[in-house]
Amino acid sequence: MKKPRTREERKKLMVRIIALIMAILMVVGMAYYTIYVLTSSVSAAETTTAEAIDTSSLKNSEDVLVSVGLNYGSSLTKAFGLWSDEGFTVGTQELSDDRSFEALWDLPTQYISCTVDDNLASSSGTFVLADDEDDTDIGGYHIQVDCSGYDREELEELIDDTEDDVDDLGLYLIPSYIHDSYALRVGAFADENDAEDVLEDVEDIFRRMDVEVVEPSSTAVSVVDPDNEYILFEFDCDAELELGLTGHEDTNGNTYMSTPAGNIYDGVFCFKRYDNGDVEGVQLVNILPLEAYIAGVLPYETSNSWPLETLKAFAITIRSYTLSHRNKHFDRYGFDLCNTTDCQVYKGAGKVNQRILDAVLGTEGEILVYGSEIVNAYYSSSVGGVTVSAEDAWGGQDKMPYLKAVETPWERYMTHSNGFWTYEISPSALCDHLNQKGYTTLEDEIEDVEILELAENSTYIKSLRITDIHGESVTINYTDNVRIALTPYVKSSNFVVGRGSVEYSENVVIEDNYVSEEIPEEEPEYIGGASSGKESGYTDVDGCYVITADAIDRHYTSIWTSIVTGDENVLYDKIDFFVMSSQNAHAFLGDEYLQYAEEEKREERHNTQIVEDKSDGDLVYKVAYADDEDNFIFVGKGWGHGVGISQYGARDLADLGYSYEDILYSYFTDVDIVDYENYQ
């Protein structure tokens, strides 16, 4: 009879079995990954543009062009990759009011990178400045042939006539547009001396033409083939004109381009050098017709599955906000609006579906006006039963009488994930947080948080006094300042606060037998634009094993992400790894990208008790208790600044059967809906 295994032997056997299973899964996963790479590397762009639908019908507003900053400020990089199924057209782009694009050259390449004109080194699927000459993959020094007066056909003929001779020197030709004229550059050298060594040979090829060595320029942009590491086109007009790129038109007239994040854009991409002393790189601006921009905002500030009347209301809201805030960032960056919640979240055509097209085209050109003024159509995620006036929110500006406080009893804020919230914080932690926000006169612990004044006709807090245990205090005025000072512990300034416990109220929302059309529920990717201040969410990847694939040839269909290893953060292109879940070892190829909130806080749950003698049919009063009676507890409603229209509230009104006109008139006071073309 075989001797039974001991407990330790059984444990070791189990470990071996698990290790064997994981090894098999790794091999299978790597095989799957390899097949994926090999089958998709034929055309990286195919994986990034296939989801976009035909949006050519949105180009009727070409007389109104909107410029949107996509890569600017602290996000600048030395290089930015782009895909286009049909190839690219290179041209000149004006960023002024004219914003015209003039084609210069065609590039059949499907994947390119736009970079600074300098010595570059390839790094993790992109380019960075080379540390030294030995580290340089693409040089920033060139031999330039003066082609002043040449048109495009003449430059093409010159290239055809000289390409073989240049190739015999081990160099290549770079079509260029320099100082408002076509030019031809030869080679990419890491050092000026290297270029000088072959200068005479190049002069022999281009006899009777001016030839010189040129060094890297602080205003030039290079269009690079990343796979073969050579320059396709160079552009430098001393920042009077910028490099423009657009995809070649498909059969429907769309000019789609895709970014490393997998987002799909139409229109023109403008690349310009930017240097403010602290940050230097290539700035990216998308220039496109107004209606195409509206469609690129709408599914991210709402959802492409929401009721059509809600989407129509927000198409007009977004259009009005856009036209009333044109040139918002022009003085600093040279574009109208950014692509974040500071303005409006814009991520291109990737989530445009038929419902979005119907909403935009069904309200094409319609805007909100107050008298002769286009309405500053602010909006936020939810408001919690009442809005707040712009004057009480921000102060120090025109009253904007169409942005008054209005009650919103239809808003089902208690059922929305972002509509009702509680948070508990200790006196010392609250003091530390306020110190970080700049309120440095407060010390040690907070003794009291006192509401001094509410906004007019609203439950939003207009004035708040915070006092520490030494009697030092600060007073915060205006509702949005209150929200910002206490973020992320509050999501709006529509809250009450107490120490140990606090009494609050819940509205009984309007109910109706009407239910809007059945549509699949899909939460918006971002909620709360138009300077809402909402923080982005994050994805948890606990319990996952990361397997790199350094030995496999790299191609580019996704963005780069930072993987935390035992030693440091390592930057990977997401196509260079996949994640096996500890539960089912499912291969994940990076279709979605991670977003980390700067200070993401999870909503807390607290014990509550109904105040029976105060509650009635329309209002329920409750008391929320902190887990620690010495802590402060915040109970609030809504998310964002609370001015203007509520995104979730607009959806609630549509569910009750209201039209988009009714929705807008419910939030904005004494406004009219007019056609922008006639209004001009």
pLDDT, tens digit (0-9, with 9 covering 90-100), for 254-263:
999 999 989 9
Residue 356 tokens, joined: 């979005």
- Say whether pLDDT at 270 is over 60: yes
What is the model's pLDDT at position 608? 85
CA 223 to chain CA centroid, nearest Å: 24
User: Which one has a higher pLDDT value, 51 or 466?
Assistant: 466
Is residue 384 a contact partner of residue 492, using CB atoms and an 8 Å limit? yes
Token output for 495: 């809250």
Closest Cα to residue 388, out of 373, 370, 400?
Answer: 400
Average pLDDT score over residue span 134-152: 96
On whether the CB atoms of residues 516 and 307 are closer than 8 A, the answer is: yes
pLDDT tier at 564, thresholds 50, 70, 90: low
- Strand pairing category for 65-71 and 337-338: parallel
Per-residue confidence at 429, pLDDT binned at 50, 70, 90?
Answer: very high
Q: Give per-residue pLDDT as tens, 83-108.
A: 999 999 999 999 887 899 999 999 99
Q: Please name which of 293, 311, 409 lies closest in space to residue 647, comparing C-alpha atoms.
A: 311
Average of per-residue pLDDT across 427-447: 96
Q: What is the pLDDT of residues 382-397, one digit of tens each?
A: 999 999 999 999 997 6
pLDDT, position 35: 41
Query: HEC profile for 242-281?
Result: EEEEEECCCCCCCCCEECCCCCEECCEEEEEEEECCCCEE
**In this structure, which amino acid lies at residue 489?**
Y
pLDDT-derived band at 471, boundaries 50, 70, 90 = very high
Q: What is the pLDDT of residue 523?
A: 53
Q: Which run of H or of E encompasses 655?
A: helix 647-655
Q: Check whether 485 has a pLDDT greater than 80.
A: yes
Whether 314 and 647 have beta carbons less than 8 Å apart is answered as yes
296: left (phi over 0), alpha (psi -120 to 50) or beta: alpha
Distance CA 173, CA 285 (A): 28
Residue among 336, 414, 421, 374 nearest 678 (CA): 374
What's the order of all strands across the beta sheet hosting 473-477?
Answer: 446-454, 461-468, 473-477
Of 420-424, 449-453, 493-497, 528-532, the poorest mean pLDDT is in 528-532
Listed residue (589, 615, 483) closest to 32, CA to CA: 589
| pLDDT digit string, tens, across residues 51-75 | 678 999 998 776 799 999 999 988 8
Tokens of 462: 């207009």
Block residue for tokens 């209150």: 482
Is the separation of the CB atoms in 555 and 41 below 8 Å?
Answer: yes
Distances (CA, A) of 238 to 64, 70, 76, 120, 418: 26, 22, 19, 21, 48
Question: Please, what is the average pLDDT of the chain?
Answer: 83
Round to whole Å and give the CA distance between 379 and 373.
18
CB hemisphere CA count around 131 (13 angstroms): 3
* Helix/strand/coil for 635: strand
Give the SS3 label for residue 539.
Answer: coil
Contacts of 384 (CB under 8 A, 6+ apart): 411, 413, 419, 420, 459, 492, 494, 636, 637, 638, 642
pLDDT tens column, 161-170: 999 999 999 9
pLDDT value of residue 614: 77
Percent of the chain predicted with pLDDT > 90: 66
- Cβ(277)–Cβ(283) below 8 Å: no
The token pair at 146 is 């003066």
| Separation between Cα atoms, residue 656 and residue 636, nearest integer Å | 25
Q: How many residues does the chain have?
A: 680
- The Cα diameter of the chain in Å comes to 99
What is the amino acid identity at position 652? D
CA nearest to 211, candidates 233, 195, 232:
195
In this predicted model, what pLDDT tens digit does every residue of 525-541 receive, in sequence order? 545 556 554 433 323 33
pLDDT on residue 70: 95
pLDDT of residue 96: 85
SS3 358: helix
- More confident site: 524 or 149: 149
Q: Which pLDDT does position 278 carry in this prediction?
A: 81
Where is pLDDT greater, at 560 or 498?
Answer: 498
Joined together, the tokens standing for residue 21 give: 């299973």
Report helix, strand or coil for 237: coil
Residue 480: what pLDDT?
A: 97
What is the Cα–Cα distance from 128 to 366, expressed in whole angstroms?
45
User: How is residue 657 written in tokens?
Assistant: 């059967």
Residue 471 falls in which region: left (phi positive, over 0), alpha (psi -120 to 50) or beta: left
In this model, does residue 588 exceed pLDDT 60?
Answer: no
More confident residue, 187 or 27: 187
**Token couple for 181:** 């004229």
What amino acid is encoded at 71 in this protein? N
Q: Mean of the pLDDT values across residues 203-231?
A: 95
How would residue 42 be classed by pLDDT, with cut points 50, 70 and 90? very low
What pLDDT was estimated at residue 579?
Answer: 44
Least reliable range by pLDDT among 28-37, 372-381, 445-454: 28-37
| pLDDT confidence of residue 611 | 84
**pLDDT above 60: residue 40:** no
Q: Is 646 helix (H, G, I), strand (E, B) or coil?
A: strand
What is the CB-side half-sphere exposure of residue 172 using CA atoms within 13 A? 13
Spatial separation of the C-alpha atoms in residues 654 and 660, rounded to whole Å: 8
Asked whether 222 and 234 are in contact (CB, 8 A), the reply is yes
> In the prediction, which pLDDT does 605 show?
66
Q: Kind and range of the H or E element at 165?
A: helix 152-168
Predicted confidence (pLDDT) per residue in 625-664, tens digit: 999 999 999 999 999 999 999 999 999 999 999 999 999 9
Q: At 391, give phi and psi (nearest 5°).
A: -65, -40
Mean per-residue pLDDT, 416-423: 91
Mean pLDDT in residue range 407-431: 94
C-alpha 422/C-alpha 602 separation (Å) is 10
Q: What does DSSP assign to residue 611?
A: -
The rounded percent of the chain whose pLDDT value lies above 70 is 77
Q: Is the predicted pLDDT of residue 329 greater than 70, yes or no?
A: yes
- Position 15 scores a pLDDT of 54
Residue 246, pLDDT above cutoff 60: yes
pLDDT at position 478: 97
pLDDT score of 438 more than 80: yes
Residue 680 or residue 68, greater confidence:
68
